[in-house]
Homo-oligomer: A and B are copies of this chain.
């Protein structure tokens, strides 16, 4: 079946014979008359000039994306309300450990010290003076699976701790050359300026790969909730390591074993050991439409969602409309960028029978998004905190209502 025939004609209003609107088929050159005829017949026609050009373009009153912060520490991106791949900066997810500090750009300094030849402090102006780099990538909290809510779960509430921006800043490798990182320095500590003094240990090799100090997001200055005036950005790694309000980097020859990597952000395994430094976010996908709270009508629907991988590009997204029995390949929106939210779409004709729809991401390394059962079998039930990227199913009832009932 071609895409052309995939749309149900009965949903559109065929105008032949439709009352109230005069349509004159254009057969002569008298185009102005035709336009005028359609115009005069239209009660919706706006005849009064609207508001003038604005200082800042505001949202329509009818389009007010909602984000209800949870316990003051989390705000989740409304994935079900978004299109494409960019997250507006004010809707980027937030996860704070001690709120949002206010930092003066004039007083801001980034200290780089430890196993370096020349310990230095960099002002914000200093950072902006270095050669800049820009990239689009996702940022995802490693705790991005809601295991608390049991019903009425939207994509936002289930997995809204992932967002995507175009980030600009200075490559950390550039700063490391500037301070003269010593060959034996294999790790660094990244410390935030917030009251939590958020600290994480990061392998120095990530700096030589693609780490950056970001001072801009989606074209403008990073916003305070995202680390203003500058944050670490580790593309593809768990969000918590992209330390916001970055104030200090210390080079060393071993990890620092901060509280954030012992009491948290470590994954207990079923054999009693723990997986430590699980930095990379594995490939994942989620259908963002249709999903709760949508009520589906019978007929054609374009299933839409996001897929991403911390290991590189998304290679394929499979979609199942029969509870995982069979899978088809979704279309991926170009350009498919590495470590980036990738929009997938797949046409489907719903016959009105209850079923479940789900998606499965495959990245360029061949990694296949697992089921929750497979994750649990591999790691044990004690590991259900971080790095859970299970296949997500939306169940559809005979009434067309979509519901989340736990992961497939």
Task: Identify the A interface with B (CB < 8 A).
Answer: 3-4, 6-7, 9, 11-16, 21, 23, 25-26, 29, 31-32, 34-35, 38-39, 44-60, 62-63, 65-70, 72-75, 81-92, 94-96, 98-105, 107, 109, 111, 113-115, 118-122, 126, 129-134, 166-168, 174, 177-178, 189, 191, 193-197, 199, 215-216, 218-221, 223-226, 228-229, 247-248, 250-252, 254, 256-257, 300-302, 304, 333, 335, 337, 343, 345, 347
Contacts and interface: CB of A to CB of B under 8 A. Distances in A.
Given A35-B199, A57-B75, A82-B216, 9 more contacts: A15-B120, A23-B119, A35-B189, A39-B197, A49-B98, A50-B195, A52-B73, A52-B99, A84-B168
A333 B131 CA distance: 12
Contacts of A34: 114, 250
A50 B168 CA distance: 25
Nearest to A197: B39
Closest 6 CB pairs of A and B: A52-B72, A50-B99, A83-B216, A83-B168, A63-B221, A53-B69
B26 A250 contact: yes
B250 A134 contact: no
Contact of A62 (B100, B104, B111, B225): B104
A78 to B, nearest CB: 9
Contacts of A335: 335, 337
Nearest to A251: B26
7 contacts: A7-B129, A9-B118, A11-B126, A26-B115, A51-B99, A55-B67, A87-B219
Given A113-B23, A347-B131, A90 B225 contact: no
A88 B220 CA distance: 7
Contacts of A46: 101, 103, 193-195
Contacts of A252: 26, 31
Stoichiometry, as copies per complex, reads: 2
Contact of A89 (B35, B57, B107): B57
A101 B297 CA distance: 32
Contacts of A337: 335
B221 A59 contact: yes
Nearest to A331: B131
B23 A134 contact: no
B101 A56 contact: no
Nearest to A115: B26
Contacts of A15: 111, 113, 119-121
A3 B174 contact: yes
Contacts of A63: 105, 220-221, 228
Given A35-B250, A333-B133, A335-B337, A114 B52 contact: no
Nearest to A29: B254
A337 to B, nearest CB: 7
A58 B50 CA distance: 27
Contacts of A50: 96, 98-102, 194-195
Contacts of A85: 134, 166, 219
Nearest to A118: B14
A12 to B, nearest CB: 5
Nearest to A50: B99
B132 A60 contact: no
Nearest to A73: B53
A49 B134 contact: no
A53 B26 contact: no
Contact of A35 (B122, B193, B256): B256
Contacts of A224: 57-60
